[in-house]
Chain A
Amino acid sequence: MQLDELEEVLLTISYKEDDEKSSLDAFNTIYRAYSKLLSAIVKSNLKKMGIYNQQLYEATINNVFIKLYENPLSFEIPKNAKNDNCFKAWLSVVASNEIKKLIKEYYNKEKSLEVISDEPVIESEEINEELADSVNKKLMIDALNSLSERDKAIMFTLYNYYEEGRKTPTNVLNDLCKLHNTTKLNIRKIKERSEKKIIEFFAQHSQLKPLKNVK
């Protein structure tokens, strides 16, 4: 969708109390323009995190579009935007948060998402930039496939809910423990072991000389 069209559609939805029919038409337009992409993003990431469930998938898409209908102007087109990719990315982030919320509600957790906890921050390992630049997508997928299904799912979940400098939300860790029948300590160990394995895999299979690039 062109940016001016997107802006027009969002504005039309926001006038739902004055003109409901136009607002519904605009909602249909935006759903048809973005629901396929959002479905693909949600489905793909739920599968990678090992938590694909049809109801979770459908509820996520459903709730994201209701949120959009209720508050269409919560998205603001950035001044430097060249196309609607910024809107697509915004939808993706809203969907990611919605998944976290739905799972938390399912486990009857308290309302605040950012529970203060004494959990140490789960940081991401760093790798040499030269090595990082030599890694293509296929090699990354091969490296991930060298992990067990459970370890891969844990890695994807931690990465999807990682925010730089912030603690991994306690509920995400708790949900991981329940889903995989393990402890927080084990989750940390799995993450450390998996990252080490991935970096070693990169070093062995990239075009660069092995070992000197391994952290």
Chain B
Amino acid sequence: MSNKKLIDLFKSKGLLFPSNDEEIEEFENSENILNETPLDWDNPSDILKRGYLKLTNFNLENDTVSSDEIQNLSRAAREGKEISEKVSKKMLEDKNASKKK
């Protein structure tokens, strides 16, 4: 009996970027794509006005601080508890952003 590459197994189940008809079908069967709301849905031609985009910020999602987290930590700060540098930075950014409005 022959062998299969593990990677081909992953591809065939739609778990990687689909690259052929069957993998697309597998992906579509497993994901609810109708829930997606692409950024330029209302005005696709905005893409052409905007031009090519570059990546200027590569902070990963799990490294970001949520607004709820900020609120809780703001409270902690008022009560004299220590807050992390990451949260301090985000609070300062939010403060500066609100001044600009």
Contact = CB atoms under 8 A, between A and B. Distances in A.
Decide if A and B are genuine partners.
yes
A176 to B, nearest CB: 13
Nearest to B26: A137
Contacts of A56: 55, 58
Given A36-B33, A55-B57, A159-B16, A28 B44 contact: yes
Contacts of A103: 55, 58
A198 interface: yes
B28 A55 contact: no
A58 B39 contact: yes
A75 to B, nearest CB: 14
Nearest to B29: A137
B55 A55 contact: yes
Contact of B53 (A63, A137, A179): A63
A159 to B, nearest CB: 5
Contacts, number: 170
Interface residues of A, number: 66
Output the residue of B17, B28, B57 with the most chain A CB within 10 A: B17
A88 interface: yes
B24 A159 contact: no
A141 B13 CA distance: 10
Contacts of A105: 54-55
Output the residue of B7, B52, B56 with the most chain A CB within 10 A: B7
Given A35-B40, A132-B3, 8 more contacts: A41-B18, A44-B27, A53-B57, A62-B52, A105-B54, A126-B4, A132-B9, A160-B17
15 contacts: A27-B48, A35-B40, A40-B33, A55-B55, A56-B55, A59-B55, A61-B39, A88-B24, A89-B20, A102-B54, A103-B55, A126-B5, A129-B3, A137-B14, A162-B7
Interface of A: 24, 27-28, 31-32, 35-41, 43-45, 48, 50-56, 58-59, 61-63, 65-66, 69, 82-83, 85-86, 88-89, 92-93, 95-96, 102-103, 105-106, 124-130, 132, 135, 137, 140-141, 144, 156, 159-160, 162, 179, 195, 198-199
Give 5 closest A-B pairs by Cβ, nearest first: A31-B44, A126-B3, A59-B53, A124-B7, A85-B21
